[in-house]
A and B are shown apart, each in its own frame.
Chain A
Amino acid sequence: MIKPRQTPMRQQRPYVRIHNFDEVPLGYSEDEAIREAKRCLQCQYPTCIDGCPVNVDIPRFVGHVAQGDFASAVRTIRETNSLPAVCGRVCPQEDQCQGVCAMGKKFESVAIGRLERFCADWEAQHDPCRPEVGPDTGRRVAVIGSGPAGLTAAGDLRKLGHDVTVLELLHVAGGVLMYGIPEFRLPKAIVRREVDGLRALGVRIELNKVVGRVVTVNGLFEQGYDALFIGTGAGLPRFLEIPGEQLGGVYSANEFLTRTNLMQSYRFPEYDTPIRVGERVVTIGGGNVAMDAARTALRLGAKESIVLYRRSVEELPARVEEVEHAAEEGIFFQLLAGPVRFLGDGGGLVGVECIEMKLGEPDESGRRRPVPVPDSEFTIETDTAVIAVGNEPHPLIPKTTPDLEVSRWGNIVADPETGRTSVDGVFAGGDIVTGAATVIEAMGAGKRAAAAIDAFLADA
């Protein structure tokens, strides 16, 4: 008998979780996972696999879960996905595998993401499934950046028997998984476990290594590397370029989240890096990063957290689940309004002057363009604002590698299928190529580039 609805996942209650940084969803039990897995129709011609940027064999792993054979389920996922505990938590499954799930045509789709997360967490509690490493090829590959693209490329290249070194400029590996996505959405212990897994395969990880400054891209070839993968991701935040942006109390989301996640400011003064959060925090933007910042603000002690977004709820770019979680936690959505200027009192921020918007004709992105409503200005009093309106590509490699072709927006130009760049032996993928995208898309790019690098090394 078909169960029309997904097996719910237990989660921390909103009024509890806004006071801690612990993960919000609590995961399936074995029984819950089996029950959910049995909802899968095991389609003869499954669509879900193509819906996954790294093509996880979803029906097969879900079938193993339905049988209670969790070890086989993990092995199946790991054949193509090197970061399942991460993907099971942060992938936009509703737009990917679950979006094309046959069950979803009439009922709720199979909760593939929750099952993936269950399998990965089960693995962590039991024997880690270490993929086999191929015979040593004697070829050396440097992977620049240890975010989702870099970690995926590194894992795949190592499995093919290459000697892989990951060069990371921060003091921890994981990139945006460590500095950007908050603990309550992706516990850092999970990222560390995945990185340790790569180390166990023989991937070397060098931290505090600023490629472009301490060694150039060309310098890496001189050091004996045979190929490079650049996965340096997103970089400097975009600002609004409106008056008052320099005021104390105005943060970029990158800085706000980096202080909290990477530097553990929420444990100040035990940890040395401070963060300033007032009674009320206004976050500007409507994407996942804005939701992360607004929810982080509550956990840092803000009494009110407001998301200011210039379009309406339908256009919010954030995942539905993130918006729901934010709403449950009592975050206010000030929609159809945009900031005009930040107001200061000589010391720091005291308010954000806003103007109401209405939606006009669709713009080049296909979304209806917000148009200011004349004489509708209003002020939100606040001493903390967070700007979450996107990032530029990370500047260092383009800046320091003159012969590498870069778009006018600063993205590295690379073939979407292979990651090949204008420089022979240099491949790139992830946000540094595409601009802001998802973790899993970056992983897909890392995976394709790893295959292309393997082919390049075979020919070279």
Chain B
Amino acid sequence: MNRILEKQQLGSCLWEFLIEAPDIARAARAGQFVILRLHEKGERIPLTIVETDDTVGGVRLVVQEVGKTTSEMIGGFGVGDALLDFVGPLGEPSEIARYGTTVCIGGGVGIAPIFPIARDLKAAGNHVIGVLGARTAELLFYEQKLAAVCDELYVMTDDGSRGQRGFTSDVLKRLLDEGREIDRVWAIGPPIMMKVCAEVTRPFGVPTVVSLNPIMVDGTGMCGGCRVEVGGRTRFACVDGPEFDGHQVDFDALMARLRIYADDEAESLDEHEVQPCSKRQEGAW
């Protein structure tokens, strides 16, 4: 159970895993996530599901090295190894329907969860405009995969090393300014990107769905750690989300909460002598 069936590098500090979990693979839908724990002393971390492989009962995930657990998973777990705990699917699925024209924006590791949404929106008969963004070309992935399910695809990097120079929100703004009829936007990426995208669409009144990744512990509707303020009310990303109306989310509070454990993360990496990705040779695994 929970065996790693495939593992491959997608970019700098970015890896793709296929995990054997047939029950979860059968039940999972776009927008949902899993929680995993590597070993007895491990923490529970949430990761959004990219897609499932029904022939082998696999769940595909993209892992970006950001802390101790993700470093350990990328550095220490290979094909054939098993994760201790793998639970899901969690959260409410994306509301897939025939909206008309939809824009699917994936920024950074947020490209991974935007893929199944774009795929299912396309299958539901929407005109799908994909927008992918990353700091630099080495952090960009799934361009081909998205191209296959999008009617139009725009690629942006902050430094212009791939696609256009600029931000994903620039594309969104241009499309709206050009007067394109857009019926719904999904924006998944760093909180600041989601915030900016929501601000871009607000004056146009285009419904904008964001997928939040706040701090979670159990991730199943118990601890309340993943609370976010949406429309002035306390909501929980693990059971009410992870997707919310981007125009209603208090992103500033979310961003502040995400920083709570930054010092602890550094201490943990240090204590366990885990080398962060940037200092390790790429492709060593």
Query: Footprint of B on A, CB under 8 Å?
Result: 169-171, 179, 207-210, 213-215, 234-237, 239, 241, 245-249, 251-252, 254-255, 258-259, 262-264, 267-274, 276, 347-348, 394-396, 399
A255 touching B87 in the complex, CB below 8 Å, given contacts A269-B267, A272-B68: no
A241 with B234: CB separation less than 8 A? yes
Q: A171-B37, A246-B253, A272-B268 are in contact. Are A258 and B85 (CB under 8 A)?
A: no
Do A248 and B259 contact each other (CB < 8 Å), given the known contacts A169-B220, A213-B90? yes
Instruction: Say how far B52's CB is from chain A's closest CB, in angstroms.
Output: 12
Chain B contacts for A394, CB-based, 8 A: 221-222
The minimal Cβ–Cβ distance linking A66 to chain B, given in whole angstroms, is 43
Q: How far apart are the CA atoms of A317 and B35 in the complex, in Å?
A: 35
Given A213-B90, A241-B234; A268-B84 close (CB under 8 Å): no
Q: A213-B90, A246-B250, A270-B271 are in contact. List 20 more A-B contacts (CB 8 A).
A: A169-B220, A170-B220, A179-B218, A179-B222, A208-B87, A210-B88, A235-B222, A247-B257, A255-B224, A263-B43, A267-B41, A269-B267, A272-B69, A272-B268, A273-B43, A274-B267, A276-B260, A348-B256, A395-B239, A396-B220
Residues of B within 8 A of A255 (CB): 217, 223-225
Closest 4 CB pairs of A and B: A274-B264, A246-B253, A252-B224, A208-B87
Q: In the complex, which residues of chain B have a beta carbon less than 8 angstroms from the beta carbon of A179?
A: 218, 222
Which residues in B have their C-beta under 8 angstroms from that of A272? 41-43, 68-69, 268
Residues in A whose Cβ lies below 8 Å from that of B145? none
Q: Which residue of B lies closest to A396 (CB)?
A: B221
Q: A171-B87, A210-B87, A213-B89 are in contact. Are A246 and B222 (CB under 8 A)?
A: no
Q: Per a CB cutoff under 8 Å, which of A246, A263, A273 touches B256?
A: A246
Residue of B nearest to A235 (CB): B221
- Residue among A213, A262, A276 with most chain B CB within 10 A: A213
> A251 vs B236: C-alpha distance in the bound complex, in angstroms?
14
Residues 253-275 of B contacting A (Cβ, < 8 Å): 253-254, 256-257, 259-261, 264-265, 267-268, 271-272
Bound form: Cα–Cα A373–B217 in Å: 38
Chain A residues whose C-beta falls within 8 Å of the C-beta of B220 in the assembled complex: 169-170, 210, 396
Considering the complex, give the chain A residue whose CB is closest to the CB of B87: A208
Contact assessment for A245 and B89 in the assembled complex, using a CB-CB cutoff below 8 Å = no
B27 at the interface (CB under 8 A from A): yes
* Chain B: minimal CB distance from A170 (Å): 6
Instruction: Identify the closest chain A residue to B26 (Cβ).
Output: A214
Contact of A246 among B88, B90, B227, B261 (CB under 8 A): B227
Complex contact B222–A254 (CB within 8 A)? yes
Contacts of A395 in B (CB 8 A): 221, 239
**Could you give 26 example pairs across A and B, Cβ below 8 Å?**
A169-B220, A170-B218, A171-B84, A171-B87, A208-B85, A210-B88, A214-B27, A214-B89, A236-B222, A237-B223, A245-B227, A246-B229, A246-B253, A246-B254, A246-B256, A251-B225, A255-B223, A267-B41, A269-B272, A271-B43, A272-B69, A273-B43, A273-B44, A276-B261, A347-B259, A396-B239
From known contacts A245-B234, A269-B271, infer whether A258 and B256 are also in contact, taking CB-CB under 8 Å: no
Contacts of A396 in B (CB 8 A): 220-221, 239
Taking CB atoms, residues of chain A closer than 8 Å to B268 are 268-269, 272, 274
| A399 close to B259 (CB less than 8 A) | no
- A347 to B272 alpha-carbon distance, docked (Å): 27
**Residue ID in chain B nearest A247 by CB atoms:** B256
- In the complex the two chains form, what is the Cα distance from A271 to B37 in whole Å? 12
**Does any Cβ of A come within 8 Å of B152's Cβ?**
no
User: A249's closest neighbor in chain B, by CB?
Assistant: B260
Q: How far is the CB of A134 from chain B (nearest CB, A)?
A: 31
Chain A CB within 8 A of B23 CB: yes
B147 at interface by CB-CB < 8 Å: no
Given contacts A210-B90, A246-B250, A249-B260, is CB(A258)–CB(B221) below 8 Å? no
Q: Determine the chain B residues whose CB is within 8 A of the CB of A262 once the complex forms.
A: 217-218
Whole-angstrom distance between the alpha carbons of A347 and B261 in the complex?
A: 12
Contacts of B68 in A (CB 8 A): 272
Query: Would you call B139 an interface residue if the criterion is a C-beta within 8 Å of the partner chain's C-beta atoms?
Result: no
Which residues of the other chain, B, contact A274 by a CB distance below 8 angstroms?
261, 264-265, 267-268
Tell me which residues across on chain B come within 8 A of A254, comparing CB atoms. Answer: 222-224
Contacts of A252 in B (CB 8 A): 223-225, 227
Bound together, the chains give a CA A207 to CA B267 distance in angstroms of 31
In the complex, B24 has a CB within 8 A of chain A: yes
A263 and B44 contacting across the interface, CB-CB below 8 Å: yes
CA distance A245 to B259 in the complex (A): 16
A295 to B88, CA, bound (A): 33
Q: Which of A209, A234, A246, A273 contacts B257 (CB 8 A)?
A: A246
With the chains together, A83 CA to B89 CA distance in Å?
A: 32
Find residues 86-100 in chain B having any chain A CB closer than 8 Å to their own CB: 86-90
**Contact A248–B256 (Cβ < 8 Å):** yes
CB distance from B282 to the nearest CB of A (A): 24
Q: How far is the CA of A203 from the CA of B68 in the complex (A)?
A: 36
From B27, B217, B256, B257, A215 is in contact (CB under 8 Å) with B27
> In whole angstroms, how far apart are the Cα atoms of A9 and B228 in the complex?
46
Chain A neighbourhood of B32, CB < 8 A:
213
Decide: A239 near B37, CB < 8 A? Known: A214-B24, A274-B264.
no
The answer to whether A258 touches B257, judged by C-beta atoms less than 8 angstroms apart, is: no
Q: Is the CB of B85 within 8 A of A268?
A: no
How distant is A428 from chain B, measured CB to nearest CB, in Å?
A: 16
How far, in Å, is A255 (CB) from chain B's closest CB? Answer: 4
* Beta-carbon contact of B43 and A347 below 8 Å: no
- Please name all residues of chain B whose beta carbon is closer than 8 Å to the beta carbon of A273 when the two chains form the complex: 43-44, 217
Instruction: Give Cα A272 to B254, complex, Å.
Output: 22
How far apart sit A234 and B42, CA to CA, in the bound complex (Å)? 25
- In the complex, A399→B221 CA distance in Å? 11
A267's nearest neighbour on chain B, judged by CB, is: B41
Determine whether the beta carbon of A258 is less than 8 Å from that of B87: no
Complex formed: what's the CA distance from A246 to B69 in Å?
25
- Report whether B256 and A270 are in contact in the complex, using a CB–CB cutoff of 8 Å: no
In angstroms, how far is the closest chain B Cβ from the Cβ of A367?
25
Of all chain A residues, the one with the shortest Cβ separation from B89 is A213
CB distance from A91 to the nearest CB of B (A): 23
- Residues of chain B within 8 A (CB-CB) of A399 are 239
A268 to B272, CA, bound (A): 11
Cα(A251)–Cα(B224), bound, Å: 8
CA distance A269 to B27 in the complex (A): 35
- Contact (Cβ within 8 A) A169 B227: no
A214-B23, A248-B260, A269-B272 in contact; A239/B221 too (CB < 8 A)?
Answer: no
Find chain A residues with CB under 8 A from B261 CB: 274, 276
Complexed CA–CA distance, A235 and B43 (Å): 20
A248 surroundings in chain B (CB, below 8 A): 256-257, 259-260
